[in-house]
Each structure stands twice: as C-alpha cells, then as structure tokens.
Amino acid sequence: MTHRTKIMGILNVTPDSFSDGGKWISEKALDERIDQLIAEGADIIDVGGESTRPFAEPVRVDEELARVIPAIRKIRQRSDIPISIDTTKAAVARAAIDAGATMINDISALRQDPEMLAVVRSFDGPVVIMHMQGTPGDMQRNPQYSDVVAEINDFFTERICWLDANGVDRSRIIVDPGIGFGKTLEHNLTILRNIPAFKEHGCPVLIGHSRKSFLEQVLDIPVDERDSPTALVSVFCAQQQVDILRVHDTRSTVQALVLHNVLIDLP
C-alpha cells in the first residue's frame, strides 16, 4: 500500500499574493475557483486573506475577515471538504471556525497572537505550525543557519512541547518547515532533501513549495511557468512520504501523484 499524500489547494482571496493576487476577488471568479479546486481533487482548501510573500505589509483584522469569511461560507455551502484558515490572527481564526473552517494554518506557529492558543484549544481540529526565521516583512533580508534542518527541528520540539503543556495534544499538530520563509535557495533544497528528518516528532509533515522563488533560481523561469516544476517537486516529496502538499495548481500535482502511485504499485 502506497503512502497517501493529501493535496491542500490554495485559495488566496488577496489582492497582492505573489502568484495569484487579485485573481479570485470577484464573486464569479471566487465561485469558479472553489468549484475548480473541488473538481480537481483537492483534499483540503486553504483560505488566506493576507499575503505572506517576502516584504508583505500586514493586513487589518476587519479587512482580512471581509476577505476570508465569505469564501469559507461559499465552500461550505458546496461541500464538506476540510477547510483550513491561513492566518496568524486569533479573531480571524475564531470567525473562520464559526463559519465552517476545520483547521488552522498559522505561519507564526502561535507566536504572533497570544489569543491564538485559546482559539486552538476551543476546537478539536488540526493546527499547522510553520517555521519562519523573522517575519514576512524581513525574513528574506539575510537568513542564516548553522544547520538548517537541526534548527528547524529544535524549533518544532519547543513549539510542540509548549502546545502540549498548554493543552493541545501532539496528535493535532502538523509541522511545516517553511520553504521560502527566511531561507536561501540552499536552505530550501536542504529541507527538501531531508524531509524524513522532520518526521521525528511523530506529526504529519506539510510542504508548501508551490511556485516559490527557489524554482526560479534553479530554472530561471517566471512565476506563471512554475506549475510543472511544482508538480515534479510534489512527486519528490511524496516519495519521502510528505503528508500534505500545499499547491496552487491542484490539477498538475494530483495527476503527477496519481501517475507516481500507479508506477510504484506495478509488480
């Protein structure tokens, strides 16, 4: 039996995300994007209302709520698919859960908003904790590590112990090494080459590599040509038993993983 890697389809309802900012703002476009993600085989839809691209500016709570809550309600009207809310703000996470979200994806690993812990404790769904050196506003200025894998794992150990001590069971936690979040090209490649190392915590591993700038650095291609390389990296991750892949183009990654699984199951 092959390892089942789940696909988290990205729904950015933002005007300024690095690869699809503004594309899903109109009601018609949003409806079509939701239907597309479901039809193409996403296992989870990750809804985000604040860009976390390098040097991004923060978004007000009321503005983020106005972006994500209608999208979550639209998804829930159509499907019982798991919905992840991609936010660092407790007020947004709380409203998203009330609207039908079933999972919290916090790039700050509950470090930014002290009220986020109470929200996580108020429901029983999964929570993603991501490693990031710095903040979106400064993370790519000069990221440095003596051992990027060891330092990320030390971070996860501290966060998991803290969550456990505060009433959040390890079984709910998903770890994300944070490709592109305070990492150079070599850091990103080292993370991808060493995915099994992040399994030591006994938590599912999420990788968010989709369309990111390391693909441009390796292949010298613009953002609108990165879906096929993203799908190739997705297969590489699946071979290392990544549990969740967060991608923009669900179709290419789903097809790549179906073909991969058929091939490795051949006698």
As annotated, the active-site residues are 212, 246
Distance, in Å, from the CA atom of 179 to the CA atom of 59, rounded to the nearest integer, reads: 22
Q: Quickly list DSSP for 181-214.
A: SS--HHHHHHHHHTGGGGGGGSS-BEE--TT-HH
Phi/psi at 25 (5° precision): -80, -45
Q: Where are the alpha helices (DSSP H) in 10-111?
A: 27-39, 61-78, 90-99
For residue 137 the two structure tokens come to 């506003």
Distance set, CA 126 to CA 44, 70, 102, 121, 133 (Å) = 12, 22, 7, 11, 23
Distance set, CA 11 to CA 93, 173, 231, 261 (Å) = 16, 22, 18, 26
Q: Quickly list DSSP for 244-256.
A: EEEES-HHHHHHH
For residue 176 the two structure tokens come to 């994300």
Cβ–Cβ under 8 Å, residues 81 and 11: no
